[in-house]
């Protein structure tokens, strides 16, 4: 189930370094500008939101930040979090989006949207690329939040423009984009080729 569906090639890495939205250093300010459901990608972002009193609808964590183990306060905040009705664990190697991650993400987002169930998704491997499929799978108006190393938290509003950007980047990754769209429940005909 952890078979790679798409893989990030070196030529696309530079494009992923630019933030996809405004960068925040204050979780309260980010939360004031966010809309539901809020989906957090990354341990530090998730810990900041939890410490600010907000449990994300979906949180993806891998117990690492910038390729190193997270600080104790981050690990403790995530481990001690209350408010997650569901916890899932998936395998996703670095620079890849795996079938198990994509399926779990779709299920978690659908659960948050349908009945408000919050999900903690622990990734054995790396969750860095997950923001892109989050943008495609989340409902219009949702907020995706991810960490920008050395800068803060990036807030992305899910809309036509951000979906087009995420779809374009994913479509240019190596692998099976038709399978990617299928696993996310997205109509690939509406996305860039």
pTM confidence score: 0.93
pLDDT of residue 61: 96
The per-residue pLDDT for 117 is: 85
Per-residue confidence band for 193, with pLDDT thresholds at 50, 70 and 90? very low
The helix/strand/coil state of 159 is coil
List, in sequence order, every residue forming a beta bridge with 7; answer none if it has no partner. Answer: 96, 174
Q: Give the tens place of pLDDT for each residue, 108-135.
A: 999 887 778 899 999 999 999 999 999 9
User: How far apart (Å, rounded) are the C-alpha atoms in residues 34 and 40?
Assistant: 11
Model confidence over 40-88: pLDDT tens digits?
999 999 999 999 999 999 999 998 876 777 888 999 999 989 889 999 9
Beta bridge partners of 6: 97, 175
Determine which of 97-106, 156-165, 178-187 has the lowest per-residue pLDDT on average.
Answer: 178-187
| Cis peptide bond upstream of 41, omega within 30 | no
DSSP letter at 54 equals -
Domain ranges of the chain: 27-184
What percentage of the chain reaches a pLDDT higher than 70? 94
As a whole number, mean pLDDT of residues 135-159 equals 96
Cα 18 to Cα 28: distance, rounded to the nearest angstrom: 23
DSSP SS3 for 43: helix
The encoded tokens of residue 128 equal 């860095």
Report residue 145's pLDDT band, with 50, 70 and 90 as the boundaries: very high
**pLDDT computed for residue 68 by the predictor:** 74
DSSP helix, strand, coil percent of the chain (3-state; round to 5): 40, 25, 30
């Amino acid at each position: 189930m952890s078979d790679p569906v798409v893989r990030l090639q070196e030529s696309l890495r530079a494009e992923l370094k630019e933030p996809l939205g405004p960068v925040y250093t204050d979780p309260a300010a980010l939360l004031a500008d966010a809309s539901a459901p809020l989906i957090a990608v990354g341990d530090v972002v998730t810990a900041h939101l939890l410490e600010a009193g907000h449990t994300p609808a979906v949180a993806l964590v891998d117990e690492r930040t910038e390729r190193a183990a997270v600080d104790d306060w981050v690990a403790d905040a995530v481990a001690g979090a209350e408010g997650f009705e569901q916890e899932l664990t998936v395998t996703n190697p670095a620079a890849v989006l795996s079938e198990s991650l994509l399926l779990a993400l779709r299920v978690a987002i659908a659960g948050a949207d349908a009945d408000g169930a919050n999900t903690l998704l622990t990734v054995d491997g790396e969750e860095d690329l997950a923001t892109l499929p989050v943008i495609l799978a989340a409902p219009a108006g949702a907020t995706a939040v991810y960490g920008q190393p050395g800068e803060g938290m990036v807030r992305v509003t899910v809309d036509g423009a951000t979906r087009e950007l995420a779809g374009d980047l994913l479509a240019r990754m190596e692998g099976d984009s038709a399978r990617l769209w299928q696993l996310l429940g997205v109509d690939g005909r509406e996305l860039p080729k």
